[in-house]
């Protein structure tokens, strides 16, 4: 195994790449996962590889909407499970909402592998100490998080074929969905069904980023750690949230890349 020096300037990026490569070899991810990851890395480079102030605000807004939801759900695809699975399980434990596996290239084998992967991550998270400032029985809270997706008993009205399949207890009935790395079509349909769709995407120009109710332009693993902190802080939401303005601010950071160096 290649050891990455602790001081290597691209250490985090190299670790993430290795996680994606290994998970692809294990069959958890489709080959195109690496292309999606590379596109994300390019945008993250231009964002200075850090969470911007506007991203922090959108994470806080998403935390508030998840907390005040009647039926919140966190939808994860393969890349999200591999890069931010544990953090999102912690978030789900605090909010007490399910996690639903939802993948673009759906096969029974990959659904099974991702389900087992998240269940084993859940077990590891349940043995951790309580998150900072969270009080209660952590093990029970974590073990109560349902990993949905395999039951395929729900439908997203307005989509056809495998993309329409979902869980009745998860995405179908949800009023607020946190859905990192979603594709544009599904995002558009979920919004048209009247759901609050909270997207995480490093590309502020992607269709999902433009369609979402709240777009978090940040790297999924960085955002998930901050989201945990915010759901514990329990902020109030801003019904005046202007997503276009938030996207514009992220684009300005990218276009000022040289000025900010
Ligand atoms: P859309 O249909 O919304 O236009 P797309 O087809 O451009 O999306 P995909 O290839 O389906 O996008 O998904 C990759 C998206 O996820 C890209 O926009 C990319 O910037 C983003 N992305 C990839 N990795 C990460 C990550 N680790 N954190 C956040 N966003 C990421």
- 66 belongs to a structural domain: yes
A 10 A CB-CB count for 145 gives 25
pLDDT (0 to 100) of residue 190: 97
pLDDT tens digits, one per residue of 3-31? 777 888 788 889 999 999 999 999 999 98
User: Which tens digits make up the pLDDT trace of 219-261?
Assistant: 999 999 999 999 999 877 667 899 999 999 999 999 987 766 6
What Cα–Cα distance (Å) separates residue 179 from each residue in 5, 97, 102, 255?
33, 13, 9, 26
Q: Residue 257, Cα to own-chain centre: how many angstroms?
A: 25
Residue 2, pLDDT score: 62
Q: Exposed, middle or buried: residue 202 (CB in 10 Å: 0-12, 13-18, 19+)?
A: buried
| Average predicted confidence (pLDDT) for the chain | 94
Q: Assess contact for 104 and 183: CB atoms under 8 A.
A: yes
Percent above pLDDT 90 for the chain: 85
The CA angle 23-25-28, to the nearest 5 degrees, is 45
Burial bucket for residue 133 (CB in 10 Å: 0-12, 13-18, 19+): exposed
- 47 within a domain of the structure (yes/no): no
Ligand 1 atom with minimal separation from the 185 CA: 2
Is residue 216 within 8 A of residue 223, CB to CB? The reply is yes
Q: What's the confidence (pLDDT) of residue 93? A: 98
Mutate to test the pocket of ligand 1, among 201, 247, 250 (most ligand atoms within 8 A of CB): 201
What separation in Å is there between the alpha carbon of 36 and the centre of ligand 1? 5
25-60 pLDDT per residue, tens? 999 999 899 999 999 999 999 999 999 999 999 999
Domain membership of residue 33 (yes or no) is no
In a domain, 2, yes or no: no
- In this structure, the residues whose C-beta lies within 6 A of any atom of ligand 1 are 36-37, 39-40, 43, 79, 83, 181, 183-184, 200-203, 206-208, 219-220
Q: Which of 81-90, 132-141, 152-161 has the lowest mean pLDDT?
A: 152-161
For the cut 60, the answer to whether the pLDDT of residue 1 exceeds it is no
Alpha helices, DSSP H, located in the chain: 11-25, 33-46, 53-68, 78-95, 108-126, 138-143, 184-192, 207-211, 220-233, 243-255, 257-260
pLDDT greater than 90 at residue 64:
yes
Which of 211, 221, 210 is closest to 250 using CA atoms? 210
Residue 21 lies in a domain: no
Domain assignment present for residue 23? The answer is no
SS3 of 94, please?
helix
> 27 lies in a domain?
no
**60 and 246 in contact (C-beta within 8 Å)?**
no
Report the pLDDT value the prediction gives residue 175, as an integer from 0 to 100: 98
Domain ranges, residue 202: 53-256
Over its C-alpha atoms, the chain yields an Rg (Å, rounded) of: 17
Q: What is the pLDDT of residue 104?
A: 85
| Contact yes or no for 75/102 (Cβ under 8 A) | yes
Which pLDDT does position 231 carry in this prediction? 97
Structural domain includes residue 250 = yes
For 139-188, the pLDDT digits (tens) are 999 999 999 999 999 999 999 988 899 999 999 999 999 999 988 899 99
Please tell me the distance from the alpha carbon of residue 177 to that of residue 191, in angstroms, as a whole number: 10
* 33 Cα: distance to centroid of ligand 1 (angstroms): 10
Helix (H, G, I), strand (E, B) or coil at 183: coil
Question: For the CA atoms of 222, 228, 143, 30, what is the dihedral angle to 10 degrees?
Answer: -30
Q: What is the pLDDT of residue 138?
A: 98
Q: Which CATH number does the domain housing residue 170 bear?
A: 3.40.50.12640
Please give the tally of structural domains in the chain: 1
For the record, the structure tokens of 88 come out as: 């999102």
Q: Among the atoms of ligand 1, which is closest to the Cα of residue 210?
A: 3
């Amino acid at each position: 195994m290649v050891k990455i020096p602790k001081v290597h300037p691209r250490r985090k990026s190299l670790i993430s790449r290795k996680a994606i490569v290994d998970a692809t070899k294990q069959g958890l991810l489709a080959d195109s996962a690496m292309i999606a990851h590379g596109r994300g890395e390019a945008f993250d480079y231009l964002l200075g590889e850090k969470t911007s102030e506007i991203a922090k605000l959108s994470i806080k807004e998403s935390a508030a909407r998840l907390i005040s939801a009647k039926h919140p759900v966190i939808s994860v695809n393969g890349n999200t499970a591999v890069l931010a699975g544990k953090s999102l399980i912690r978030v789900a434990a605090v909010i007490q909402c399910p996690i639903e596996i939802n993948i673009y290239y759906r096969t029974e084998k990959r659904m099974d592998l991702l389900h087992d992967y998240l269940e084993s991550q859940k077990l590891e998270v349940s043995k951790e100490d309580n998150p900072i400032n969270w009080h209660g029985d952590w093990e029970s809270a974590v073990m109560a998080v349902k990993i949905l997706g395999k039951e395929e008993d729900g439908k997203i009205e307005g989509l056809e074929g495998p993309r329409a399949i979902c869980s009745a207890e998860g995405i179908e009935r949800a009023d607020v969905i946190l859905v990192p790395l979603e594709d544009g079509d599904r995002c558009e349909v979920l919004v048209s069904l009247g759901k609050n769709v909270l997207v995480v995407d490093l590309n502020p120009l992607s269709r999902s980023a433009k369609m979402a109710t709240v777009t978090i332009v940040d790297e999924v693993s960085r955002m998930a750690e901050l989201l945990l902190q915010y759901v514990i802080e329990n902020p109030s939401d801003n019904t005046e949230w202007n997503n276009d303005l938030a996207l514009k601010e992220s684009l300005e950071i990218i276009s000022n890349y040289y000025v900010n160096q």
